Structure 1
Amino acid sequence: MNSNDYLALLDSYGNHFSIPELEIQGPGTLSRMDTGFLRSFLTWRSWHGLPTMISSAWRKGDPKSHGRGLAFDVLLFDRWLSSQPSALQHWLLATTWGFRGVGLYFDWKYTNKEGIRVPAIGLHVDGWSGNDRSRRPLRWLRINGQYYYQSLTSGHFYCKSNKQSITLDEAIRRYGA
């Protein structure tokens, strides 16, 4: 696809993003994105209707979803750069859509309209089947730099490094999101 094809694609999904927003890792990186996943992401953005900031897309050297052009890291806002929806709303919007990987990050920050770095809820969404297909869909939380992966049977999240588990409700209560 060329620039005009991408512009037409963005136009057909409501022009919620510009090419530079999608090429956050640098000019020309949009062509590294999987077109089917990109269409799904754009449809998802149109469906939920929330202002969305992309913080990461295709990444050089990443052997997983970002390096395959099958992932976005985003921040969702109720009001642009001033307030975010709840962590639960982030979770429901991403897991309802059917992304293959969804990560909720309680330890992100962004620069608000006043230029101040503030805590944020980050969201990773991907369409990658992964190296271990039996673990997909994969759901996780990141809390204070620790990753907690969800059990497909119990629904609890478990961290291998600190040997602790947590539920989504506990994480939301505990970290004030």
Structure 2
Amino acid sequence: MNTQDYNALLDSYGNHFSIGELEIQGPGTVKRMDIGFLRSFLAWRRWHGLSTLISSAWRKGDQKSHGHGMAFDVLLFDQWLESQPSALQHWLLATTWGFNGVGLYFDWSYTNKEGNNIPAIGLHVDGWAGNSHSQRPLRWLRIDGHYYYQSLASGIFHCKSNKQSITLDEAIRRYGP
């Protein structure tokens, strides 16, 4: 696909992003995105209707979802750079859509319009099928730099590094804005 094709694709899904926003890792990187996943992401954005800031897309050297062009890390806003929906709303929007990987980050921040650093909820969504080392669907939380992966059997999130467990409700209550 060429630039004109990508612009037509963006237009067909409501023009919520520019090519520059998709190429956050550098010029030309949109061509490294999996086109099927990109279409799904654009449809998801149109469906949920919230302003979306892309913080990461395709990543050079990444052996997982970002390196396969099948992931975005985003911040969702109900008022642009002013306020975000709840952590639960982030979670429900991503898991309802059926992404293969969903991560909710309680340790992000962004710079608001006044230049202040504001604590934020970050969201990873991906369409990667994984490899032999990772189950899919994969759901996780990141709290203070620690990754908690969800058990498909119990629904509880476990952290290998600190050996602690947490439920989604508890994480939202303790760490959500």
| Partner residue, 2:25 | 25
Q: Percent of aligned pairs with the same residue?
A: 82
Q: CA deviation at 1:132?
A: 2.9
Q: Distance in 1 between matches of 2:91 and 2:135?
A: 18
Partner amino acid, structure 2, of 1:139: R
| Partner residue, 1:125 | 125
Partner amino acid, structure 1, of 2:57: A
| Partner residue, 1:139 | 139
Aligned residue for 2:60, secondary structure, equals coil
Q: Distance in 2 between matches of 1:165 and 1:54?
A: 29
Aligned residue for 1:131, secondary structure, equals coil
Q: Distance in 1 between matches of 2:175 and 2:168?
A: 11
Q: Distance in 2 between matches of 1:67 and 1:135?
A: 18
Give the TM-score normalised by structure 1. Answer: 0.98
Q: What residue ranges of structure 1 are gaps of 5+ in the alignment?
A: none
| Partner residue, 1:169 | 169
Deviation per CA, 1:55-113: give whole Å up to 9, x if none.
Answer: 00000000000000000000000100000000000000000000000000000011111
Q: Distance in 1 between matches of 2:118 and 2:68?
A: 30
Partner amino acid, structure 1, of 2:19: I
1:37-116 correspondence to structure 2 within 5 Å: 37-116=37-116
| Partner residue, 1:16 | 16
Partner amino acid, structure 1, of 2:140: W
Whether the 8 Å CA contact 2:88–2:172 is kept in 1: the answer is: yes
Q: What residue ranges of structure 2 are gaps of 5+ in the alignment?
A: none
| Partner residue, 2:4 | 4
Whether the 8 Å CA contact 2:52–2:75 is kept in 1: the answer is: yes
Distance 1:125 1:176, change over 3 A: closer
1:142-161 correspondence to structure 2 within 5 Å: 142-161=142-161
Q: CA deviation at 1:135?
A: 1.1
Q: Distance in 2 between matches of 1:114 and 1:54?
A: 20
Give the TM-score normalised by structure 2. Answer: 0.98
Structure 1 segments, 4+ long, off by >6 Å, are none
Q: Distance in 2 between matches of 1:50 and 1:76?
A: 6
User: Cα RMSD over matched residues?
Assistant: 0.9
Q: Distance in 2 between matches of 1:105 and 1:134?
A: 19
Aligned pair count reads 177
Q: Distance in 2 between matches of 1:117 and 1:173?
A: 22
Q: CA deviation at 1:13?
A: 0.2
